[in-house]
Amino acid sequence: MTKKITAIFLALCMAISVLPMTIQAASKPDIKVGDYVKMGAYNNASILWRCVSIDNNGPLMLADKIVDTLAYDAKTNDNSNSKSHSRSYKRDDYGSNYWKDSNMRSWLNSTAAEGKVDWLCGNPPKDGYVSGVGAYNEKAGFLNAFSKSEIAAMKTVTQRSLVSHPEYNKGIVDGDANSDLLYYTDISEAVANYDSSYFETTTEKVFLLDVKQANAVWKNLKGYYVAYNNDGMAWPYWLRTPVTDCNHDMRYISSSGQVGRYAPWYSDLGVRPAFYLDSEYFVTTSGSGSQSSPYIGSAPNKQEDDYTISEPAEDANPDWNVSTEQSIQLTLGPWYSNDGKYSNPTIPVYTIQKTRSDTENMVVVVCGEGYTKSQQGKFINDVKRLWQDAMKYEPYRSYADRFNVYALCTASESTFDNGGSTFFDVIVDKYNSPVISNNLHGSQWKNHIFERCIGPEFIEKIHDAHIKKKCDPNTIPSGSEYEPYYYVHDYIAQFAMVVNTKSDFGGAYNNREYGFHYFISPSDSYRASKTFAHEFGHGLLGLGDEYSNGYLLDDKELKSLNLSSVEDPEKIKWRQLLGFRNTYTCRNAYGSKMLVSSYECIMRDTNYQFCEVCRLQGFKRMSQLVKDVDLYVATPEVKEYTGAYSKPSDFTDLETSSYYNYTYNRNDRLLSGNSKSRFNTNMNGKKIELRTVIQNISDKNARQLKFKMWIKHSDGSVATDSSGNPLQTVQTFDIPVWNDKANFWPLGALDHIKSDFNSGLKSCSLIYQIPSDAQLKSGDTVAFQVLDENGNVLADDNTETQRYTTVSIQYKFEDGSEIPNTAGGTFTVPYGTKLDLTPAKTLYDYEFIKVDGLNKPIVSDGTVVTYYYKNKNEEHTHNLTLVAAKAATCTTAGNSAYYTCDGCDKWFADATGSVEITDKTSVKIPALGHTAGTEWKSDDTNHWHECSRCHDKKDEAAHDYGSDNVCDTCGYYKTVPHTHNLTLVAAKAATCTTAGNSAYYTCDGCDKWFADATGSVEITDKTSVKIPAPGHTAGTEWKSDDTNHWHECSRCHDKNDEAAHSTSEWIIDTAATETAEGAKHKECTVCKKVLETATIPATGSSHTNSYGVYVGMTYTAGNLIYQITSIDTATVGQSKVIGVVAAKKNKIKKVTIPDRADCKGYRLNVTTIGNNAFAGCKALEKLTIGNKVTVIGKNAFKNCSKLETVVIGKAVKTISSKAFIGDNKIKKITFKGDKLKTVKKNAFSKKAKKNIKSKKTKLKGNKKAIKLFKKKLKIK
């Protein structure tokens, strides 16, 4: 920022002649931190100095002891209007804490004799003005006893000195620092925010340390920063750093080393001077630099005038502390200034930000309230700060370069908090709402001052449109009193008022039909920037307060952009956004009928950002005010997709607790932004969703966007499944046109009446299921891109967390000096952005010359783009670029060589710019045109004339042969075409074993085939007429005779798979009893044809045991049929399972082989499962084999096609050949024991073994058995 108070200049003049001098033998020392120097005297004693730091100014020398105890500055009542004392009444009682005109700075830098010191502030430190007997107005200056060469050894330096609020409020500041120095008492913390604290630069030889220099002493020499007097007592001493949020207290170092605060007029603190040694000229005559042998020296060879220090220069404009060069003047009658205090105000205008012409951007006019003329520098800084902070909020940030911001210095007689007269008569009502009062001073139209007075004058004098005022605001126009001012709202997008206060309030007034379009916001409240952004949301974006109560009736429901009272999630306006980011409809307060789309939005609570609905609506609103934007893409998000909150019915509960349940659930599923790292290796088989919301800004062109999503390894490669297939997906979304755009608050409309929220809007969701065999790694993340039709990336997985950098626009004349009344605003852009701006052709009537800093990637904070304009009093220097000569062609124009100036856009014929080309068409060389010859060129079809220069064709036409084969125009001879001799190949139906064909024709002359008898439709693909043999359509049902079985073709009845019957073992149909015969049969094991039947004799009663059982006897227990295999004792035997009762064979789903199956009371252990026992049980799903079974027989469970679960009993030793052949759906086999010895390698089919190998079939239980089982089946 340009310094508002002219800097102090020292009168340094070179001597005209050099007087002869005597030079002692001297040496030039290498001064280091810790070295001592003895130089100068005070109170008849030499002064010992020590080097305490070395910085850009050189060695910093500090007095080893305090030299005196004196007041820092005098208090005064009789000269309070002089210099810094005029800026605060507190300084009358305590003295001033302003270093630049302090008594201390005046005295330290004075060589004057007793009573002759020039006190810079005009207030000497005399009796009654400093405490006790500490007056020193009659003392000689501190440098009085120093020799001229010793004073020359003290470097005259310009350095940073902090200022307190009476100074920075008046604009006495340099640079862009904007905070008070925090008050810490510990020396290690005392400089916490030093670099951002208000300061100015001062120029002097001798000074007091500031906190940063004192901190450097502490860092370099530890406790040396604590001072002592000549008696060896630790003593407090002044610093030159004020307590910046106070108008009178100074900082000092206490005797214990703490940083304290003290009123300047007290006389009991020590003075510990410091200076920078001019090491280039300093030479010594003795000493080694130690404390006991310090360097003694001076700068005898440095020539300079007698040293004096000048006082702060008076402001050229004692009332204003800003430039008034660019101003508007108002004439305000009694309706606006009834007391006459502001009847003819001059209002300085400052450009904060102007990136383009006012006719292309949104123009924002900011006025100040409660800032006096001497506080306008603060007002400019406040506007810059508030604007920069507001532009960090979306959707403002997306449009940050599309604003032109002006600060209008509407000076008040009094500050706002003092209760005196202010420019706008703003009061704060009982509801804590700021309003422009029409009653405070009887100015009854004061609240119309923006659109009737300030706006028209600004548009005429400053705005690039320069539209003359249409009527006098001090008279009532005929007809409507409001309509003549409607045009103001077309050229000024927003009026704003910043109130100079720390109070917390804010208010927006929007009723353009009746002239109101401004908001009021405080400058220094604890949330001033947030309030500004919130109120701007009302004024510019048209958003409502989301904390308001009430109920929206039909018309207000349609009018509101961000509020609703529709509780049905199917019907609420933002239904497409539900479940996207924090969009969940809820009441804005318990029991309220007012619904908001998110509980977390700056329009409800300034601790938050704008919600998604407000961002969307705000973006749409701004797109109506400026052009060039064609799409809004909300920042996408990726979540694990579980089906939760995916349909409108999931959003029916409107209470706040449900909103937080939703956000907790969302946060647990979030995989993008700062939650990218939540993606992990357990995501196999899970679904993920990429979602965003897109608004088409065009009402003419539909759009088509492509979404790409993939799983990315930490090295950037794409993850794959086990087969090497990439884990990625792509989907295209059609974005409809914004048909209702004309109804959504277009430029020129006074208000938003109603519009279709969903017109041109598309909620886009891409769901992808990660394969179960995905090869995921630690560090994997979900990557994505949203691409337009040309492949441009509109958003990706880094958009949400992308880095932003700051850009400042500065305005300068061609010589590099700043243009008056510009303040250089700052906004943020994404890292790497190339700014493409078109500077306004004029700024305050200055003519644009050039721009620096555009079209380069912005990669660092503080990047400066500089617009250069021609000063009316300066001669422009041309910067010429050669435009090379270009030859004309037949169809394109050329040009002769010329030069262009990139500053003034003029053209010149020479490299010196002395011959201007005023007729720019004179350098153009017209296209030459074609030079077609008379000779005809031709091919098989056409003929033409050809340009001899570019060979382009002219007069091209088809050949005209007449009655022969020669073209009558060009003489081209045509080859006579072949006449086909066609033969029909009749259609032939295909059979099961032989191919057929459709009808076609062949030419016996050229071997071509045709589809028609005239030869006009050639068949180029000769395979197209072939009809392949369809093959047999054999069914699954077996046909048979006494010898063989086969499958039969349903089309030609040919036999397939014919083979001889395979005879089974006897199958018991009915077991014999003592008195009744049984029945049994043998059948083909393939086709099930019964091949033989027999009866089983009745068992009778002639058994050898008391139970009536015998070996070979069959019996039924439950659904199973058994056969006794041994009778070992009188009471215990063994049997085997040989089948299932016939009625259950094709129905039984679950079989359990018991440990025992008794017969007639005789106990029989079931030890064997017989051959073919359960073969063909098509319904069987689960099998459990008892713990007595040792052998599973051949084909025992053959073709049990639905079998899924098998439990092998503890005693099983043998699984025989083809025991489970054809059982391909087994999911789990459990081994209960470790007795297994034999497993025939063909016990299971190849497919079943493949399932076991791929672990599709799980093996559980005894590890020894599993190991042998896999070994026998040769499964690795």
Distance (Å, whole) CA 1262 – CA 1208: 10
CATH 3.10.20.320 domain position(s) in the chain: 804-870
Place of tokens 């100036």: 901
DSSP character at residue 377: H
For residue 458, the surrounding DSSP H or E stretch is helix 455-461
* Token pair for 205: 């030889």
Secondary structure of 109-174 in the HEC alphabet? CCCCCCCCCCCCCCCCCCECCECCCCCCCCCCCHHHHCCHHHHHCECCEEEEEECCHHHHHHCCCE
Name beta bridge partners: 37.
49, 295
DSSP character at residue 620: H
CATH number of 1110-1272: 3.80.10.10
41 and 150 in contact (C-beta within 8 Å)? Answer: no
CATH 3.40.390 domain position(s) in the chain: 327-540
Distance (Å, whole) CA 785 – CA 803: 18
Name beta bridge partners: 189.
none
Give pLDDT, residue 1088: 86
Distance (Å, whole) CA 402 – CA 354: 9
Measured between alpha carbons, how far is residue 665 from residues 289, 568, 640, 669, 680 in Å? 71, 22, 10, 7, 18
CA angle, 130 then 134 then 140, to 5°: 110
95 and 74 in contact (C-beta within 8 Å)? Answer: yes
Give pLDDT, residue 402: 96
Distance (Å, whole) CA 24 – CA 414: 64
Distance (Å, whole) CA 247 – CA 267: 19
Distance (Å, whole) CA 1221 – CA 55: 92
Distance (Å, whole) CA 53 – CA 51: 6
Name beta bridge partners: 426.
436
Q: Which residues, 6+ apart, have CB-to-CB distance to 203 below 8 Å?
A: 7, 8, 9, 10, 156, 157, 158, 159
Q: For domain 804-870, which CATH number applies: 3.10.20.320, 3.30.360.10, 3.40.50.2000, 3.40.50.11060?
A: 3.10.20.320
CATH 3.80.10.10 domain position(s) in the chain: 1110-1272
| Closest C-alpha to 1209, from 1139, 1147, 1137 | 1137
Measured between alpha carbons, how far is residue 1033 from residues 1026, 1051, 1052 in Å? 20, 7, 9
CATH class of 327-540: alpha beta
Sign of CA dihedral 559, 560, 561, 564: negative
Instruction: Determine the angle formed by the axes of helices 528-539 and 376-390, rounding to 10 degrees.
Output: 70
Distance (Å, whole) CA 806 – CA 860: 7
Dihedrals phi, psi of 194, to nearest 5 degrees: -55, -45
Distance from CA of residue 474 to its chain's centroid? 50
Q: Could you state, in chain order, the average pLDDT of each consecutive group of 10 residues for the chain (1276 residues)?
A: 32 31 65 97 96 96 97 78 72 90 95 93 90 93 95 94 84 80 95 92 95 97 96 96 90 96 95 97 95 96 79 56 91 92 95 96 97 92 95 96 97 88 92 88 88 96 94 87 94 97 95 94 96 97 89 82 93 96 93 93 96 97 92 98 94 95 97 96 97 97 97 97 96 96 90 92 98 96 97 96 93 90 90 91 92 89 91 74 91 91 83 88 89 84 87 87 83 77 89 89 86 88 88 82 87 85 79 73 87 75 56 88 79 83 83 90 88 92 94 94 94 94 94 93 91 92 93 88
Distance (Å, whole) CA 1047 – CA 1057: 6
Give pLDDT, residue 882: 92
Q: How buried is 1103 (Cβ within 10 angstroms: 0-12 exposed, 13-18 middle, 19+ buried)?
A: middle
| Closest C-alpha to 671, from 517, 559, 831, 780 | 780
Distance (Å, whole) CA 598 – CA 669: 18
Assign 33 to helix, strand or coil: coil
End-to-end CA distance of the chain: 79
| Residue 1106 Ramachandran class (φ > 0 left, ψ -120 to 50 alpha, else beta) | alpha
308 and 144 in contact (C-beta within 8 Å)? Answer: no
